Structure 1
Amino acid sequence: MRYAQEAARFSTDGRLPLRDFALNHYGEPDVALFDFTSMYAAENASMVYERHGRRLLCQLVGDSLLEPFWPTGSGCARGFLSALDAAWAVRTWGQSPSPHPLLVIAERESIYRLL
């Protein structure tokens, strides 16, 4: 507890008044460094831009796609899986004959919902 107070004092040049810590479920003073009350998740995993008759597939992977939830340790695994899913979409995108862009996006989005 003293470390948290010293860090707060140092980072604010002593301008932050010292407060009592919140009590945990044991009735003991406790401090939490991370707030998991809200999580970021992208609405979509991929997007296609069309310019001058050409299509560009853009995809989100890792933390930009889905904010990791540290208490469960799922961040690294989801990051790798989302990168592999994106690679699969790029592979599908480049196949000949090329599939309709909506088919590639639909597959990628359905996989994203499973993460």
Structure 2
Amino acid sequence: MNATIYKIAPEALWREAEAKGRFTGAPVDLADGFIHFSTREQAIETAQKHFAGQENLLLVAVDAGALGDKLVFEPSRGGALFPHLYADMPLAAVKWVKPLPLGPDGGHVFPDMEA
């Protein structure tokens, strides 16, 4: 699988992961036992539902194929299949990291997700 999946993360948490060399998850990930990701189509709704009004966020693009068999697509919101990683995420799987700022309307302004 060469698909790209996305993680929305607070910048401070992501910088800690960079220092450690791996991402172990946000508090919600640790509580649930897996790292939550979104597909491109799911990312905007994820931001609206779980990160509304939050500043200092980053959008992390991840090569799903680099995560191996610990990445599982499971039913979640409305039965949609969401990517869940049952392991720490190696930073080598990261394609890019971009800011996810708030726009004038209070919603997050997504970067070009193709680049």
TM interval, shorter chain, is: under 0.3
| Larger proportion of strand | 2
Q: TM-score, normalised by structure 2?
A: 0.27
Q: TM-score, normalised by structure 1?
A: 0.27
Structure possessing the higher radius of gyration over alpha carbons: 1
